[in-house]
């Protein structure tokens, strides 16, 4: 089933790229494997997937030893400062930086490991009270502030759009995130680039790709519905 799901998701990304006149090579599919057992990740790995997304540091720490070392682990969920240590030498990128205290703590932990951690700034485009992320109008100042931290590198923006059965409703949020990234990119802030836009999930990734996503985070569409009761 994972094989067929992956083929379908990849086909839909390709079609969205074609509609938008984008190079499919510029869109990375991050397979969101949270709550799913290692066997399912291995199945996706066998189909060529190397980018996996998890929203809990403990889950990366637990799955990491049983899976091949050429996997890139994306930390996509809200991160508590005391859990950074679980993933600092395992994650290839942290998509969810939304406070200077968190940015500073990642920087400190990265320095201990003598590495530079690529990070994305999470922006709450729809200004939902229930969501993490900084407000769009605060993004530039926030990025300027954390750009002085030498063991993290801001590489773009991320958003989690509202849950909806109508993906078109999220187009405006994706379009605005793209605009924001172009505006901030034009400021040429030292140690900052806007190479990545992490946006789009199972329900809306095609719209996100049409609006310029470079990374889509797809879970349910690949691994099936998640069961939180077990």
Considering the complex, state which of residue 17 and residue 75 has its C-beta at the smaller distance from ligand PLP.
Answer: 75
Secondary structure, 3-state, 86-132: HHCCCEEEEEEECCHHHHHHHHHHHHHCCCCEEEEEEECCCCCCCCC
> CA–CA separation, 40 vs 222, rounded Å?
10
Considering the complex, state which of residue 62 and residue 183 has its C-beta at the smaller distance from ligand PLP.
Answer: 62
> CA–CA separation, 190 vs 172, rounded Å?
29
* Least Å from the CB of residue 9 to ligand PLP: 9
Per this entry, what is the length of the chain? 230
Considering the complex, state which of residue 90 and residue 144 has its C-beta at the smaller distance from ligand PLP.
Answer: 90
The DSSP element (H or E) to which 73 belongs, if any, is: strand 72-75
> CA–CA separation, 127 vs 149, rounded Å?
27
* Least Å from the CB of residue 202 to ligand PLP: 3
Considering the complex, state which of residue 34 and residue 178 has its C-beta at the smaller distance from ligand PLP.
Answer: 34
Which residues form the interface with ligand PLP (CB under 6 A)? 32, 34, 55, 76-77, 160, 201-203, 217-221
Considering the complex, state which of residue 56 and residue 178 has its C-beta at the smaller distance from ligand PLP.
Answer: 56
Comparing CA positions, the residue from 118, 153, 148, 120 lying closest to residue 134 is: 120
Q: Which residue is nearest to ligand PLP (CB)?
A: 219
Output the six-digit token pair for 94: 């942290």
* Least Å from the CB of residue 197 to ligand PLP: 13
Dihedral sign from CA coordinates of 22, 24, 27, 33: positive
């Amino acid at each position: 089933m994972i094989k067929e799901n992956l083929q379908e998701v990849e086909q839909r990304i390709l079609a969205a790229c074609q509609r938008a006149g984008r190079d499919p090579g510029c869109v990375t599919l991050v397979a969101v494997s949270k709550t799913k057992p290692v066997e399912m990740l291995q199945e996706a790995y066998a189909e060529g997937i190397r980018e996996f997304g998890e929203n809990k540091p403990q889950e990366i720490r637990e799955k990491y030893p049983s899976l091949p070392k050429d996997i890139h682990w994306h930390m996509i969920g809200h991160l508590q400062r005391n859990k950074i240590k679980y993933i600092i030498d395992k994650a290839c990128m942290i998509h969810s930086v939304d406070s200077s205290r968190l940015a500073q703590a990642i920087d400190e932990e990265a320095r201990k490991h003598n590495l530079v951690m690529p990070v994305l700034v999470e922006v709450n485009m729809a200004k939902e009270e229930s969501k993490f992320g900084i407000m769009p109008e605060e993004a530039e100042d926030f990025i300027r502030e954390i750009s002085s931290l030498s063991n993290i590198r801001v590489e773009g923006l991320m958003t989690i759009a509202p849950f909806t059965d109508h993906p078109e409703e999220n187009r405006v949020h994706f379009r605005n995130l793209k605009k924001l990234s172009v505006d901030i990119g034009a400021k040429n802030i030292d140690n900052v680039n806007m190479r990545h836009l992490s946006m789009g999930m199972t329900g809306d990734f095609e719209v996100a790709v049409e609006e310029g996503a470079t990374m889509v985070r797809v879970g349910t569409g690949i691994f099936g519905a998640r069961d939180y009761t077990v």
